[in-house]
Amino acid sequence: MVAPPPTRALPAAILNVGDELLAGDVINTNAAFFGRRARELGFSVLEARIVRDRVEEIVASISDLSRLVRVCWVSGGLGPTSDDLTTEAFARAAGVPLVRDEGALTRLEEKFRRFRRPMAEANKKQADFPHGARLLANPIGTAEGFALSIGACRFFVMPGVPRELELMMREQVEPELRADFPFAPVLRRIYRVIGRGESSVAEALAPLWRSLPQRSAGLGAAFIHYRATNPEVQIIVEATPSDTGELASEDELGSLDTEIERLLHPALFGIGSASLAARVLAALQRAGLRVCTAESCTGGGIGQRLATVPGASQSFLGGIIAYDDAVKMRQLGVPGPMLAQHGAVSESVARAMAEGARAATGADLAVAVTGIAGPTGGSLEKPVGTVHVAVSDAEGTVHERLLLRGDRGTVQQSTEQWALKLLWDRLHARGLAAIEEAHAPSPS
C-alpha cells in the first residue's frame, strides 16, 4: 500500500450515506464534488466512506471520523422516510437528544404550500435536529442541513440531492470554512495526453522526476499521480511539503511545463482541467473559425461533447449523423463507387465525409469519423475497433487510422476523444491552439 503524501493542510473526510450508493443504483457524484471543493479550500481528504442506511453503522463512522479529521462533509439520509436516519445517528453519536426546530417546521410547511402539495406527517421529522446543531438553509429543497461539532471534528451534514448539496456547500459551508481556515488551494499541475499509454508516459517522465530533488526541496517532495481514462492519460504534479516543510511554489511547478511538453510531444494537448472539447472551442472562438462534424460510428457523440460546453454555438455549427451509406452519399456527397470499392470504414470515405460536411455547412473545419464499434461487423482486414478519423480545412485534409480496444461504448467514447484530438492537432499545427490554453468559450 502506498503511503499518503505528507500535507500541511488540515485533514478532512467525506461520509456518504445511502444503500443506493453501495448497490450501484446511484453514482456517487457527491464524493467527487466534495473532493474537488476540499482541494480548492486547502484541505487534504484522508478518507471517503459510504455507509448503509443503518443507524449503528452511521454512528460508528461518525465516531471513527471525529477522531481522525478536523472537518467532515456528509451527504444523504435527511429525507422523511423510515430509511432516512442520518439526523438520528448524529444525535446518538453526539449523545444529545433530537429537538424539533419550530422555525424549520414553519419553513417546511411554507415550502409545501408553495409547491401546492399537502405535507405528510412524516415530513415533520425533517424539522428535528440534534441539540446544539446549527441549521443550514435549503432554499430549493425540503431537507435543511446542519453543522455539528463532535470532539475536534466539525461535521457539515447536507441532503443527498446534488443540486441542493452543491448550493448549500458553496453558499453556506465554504464561506465559513474560508473564514475559519484561511488556507490556500492545494497547488497542482495537470498534464493531459492522448496517444501514449500510461506506462509509456511514466517511462518518458521518469528521468525528470528523478531530477526534481536537485532542483529544489519543494519540487523533490511533489507527489506524482497518474490517471488513465481511455484514451486519455493525466499526469498530476501536486505540491506537498517535504519533511522540513518546504513546498513547491506555483512558479516552480510551472517551470516543468516546457520539459514535459518536449518529452510528451505530440501526445500532450493541454495543461489544466479544461476538457479537450472546451480547448478546441476556445481556440476556434479566438481564431473566429467554425467547425462541424460528420459522424458514423459515434452517432453524434462528438457533437454532443462540443455542445455541452457553454458558448459552443459561437464556434460549433452542427453535425450530420451519416450512419447509413445512403446518408453518406446523399448528405455528404460520398461517391457510391468509393463506398463500393473501399467500404464505409476506410480512409477515403473518412476524408470524403469531412470534405462533404464542410461543403454542406460552410464550416471552416470539419471532423469526420467512420469505424466498427462492435461487437460484430469486424473482419481480418478490418477488426472491431478499426476507426478512421479525418479533419478537413481550407489547407487540406488530414487523416488517422486507429485500432481501438474495448466494448462498443468504450470504442465510441475513445473515437470521440481521438476526433477532438486530431481537430486540436490541426489547430495547433496552424498556430491557433496552445498547450497552456485552458479557457472555455464565453457563454452565448
Task: Write out pLDDT tens, residues 411-422.
Answer: 999 999 999 999
Mean predicted confidence (pLDDT) in 104-115: 93
How far apart CA 130 and CA 149 sit, in angstroms, is 11
Mean predicted confidence (pLDDT) in 258-277: 95
Interstrand relation of 145-150 and 153-158 (parallel, antiparallel or unpaired): antiparallel
- Torsion region of 223: left, alpha or beta (phi above 0 gives left; psi -120 to 50 gives alpha): beta
**Least-confidence region, from 8-22, 76-90, 158-172:** 8-22
- Predicted confidence (pLDDT) at residue 4 exceeds the cutoff of 70: no
Average pLDDT value for the chain: 94
Q: In CATH, which of 3.40.980.10, 3.40.50.2000, 3.40.640.10, 3.30.40.10 is domain 11-180? A: 3.40.980.10
How far apart CA 423 and CA 417 sit, in angstroms, is 10
**What integer pLDDT is reported at residue 443 of this predicted model?**
52
**What integer pLDDT is reported at residue 361 of this predicted model?**
97
Task: Write out pLDDT tens, residues 156-171.
Answer: 999 999 999 999 999 9
What residue spans of 267-324 are helical by DSSP H?
276-287, 301-308
Class of the CATH-defined domain 188-271: alpha beta
Q: How far is residue 297 CA from its own chain's centroid?
A: 24
**What integer pLDDT is reported at residue 365 of this predicted model?**
98
- In this chain, the answer to whether the domains covering 11-180 and 287-429 adopt an identical fold is no
- Predicted confidence (pLDDT) at residue 242 exceeds the cutoff of 90: no
Q: List CB contacts of 428: < 8 A, sequence separation 6 or more.
A: 269, 434, 435
3-state secondary structure of 270: strand
Mean predicted confidence (pLDDT) in 191-202: 96
Interstrand relation of 232-238 and 223-229 (parallel, antiparallel or unpaired): antiparallel
DSSP state string for 406-434:
SSHHHHHHHHHHHHHHHHHHHHHHTT---
Which grid coordinates are listed for 229? Answer: 481514462
Mean predicted confidence (pLDDT) in 211-237: 95
Percent of the chain exceeding pLDDT 70 equals: 96
Task: Write out pLDDT tens, residues 39-54.
Answer: 999 999 999 999 999 9
Strands (E), 308-385: 316-321, 365-371
How far apart CA 208 and CA 216 sit, in angstroms, is 13
Percent of the chain exceeding pLDDT 90 equals: 90
**What integer pLDDT is reported at residue 442 of this predicted model?**
52
- The domain limits of the chain are 11-180, 188-271, 287-429
- Predicted confidence (pLDDT) at residue 323 exceeds the cutoff of 90: yes
Whether CATH 3.40.50.2000 fits 287-429:
no
pLDDT band at 244 (very low <50, low <70, confident <90, very high): confident
- Torsion region of 190: left, alpha or beta (phi above 0 gives left; psi -120 to 50 gives alpha): beta
CB 135 within 8 A of CB 144: yes
pLDDT band at 3 (very low <50, low <70, confident <90, very high): very low
pTM for this prediction: 0.83
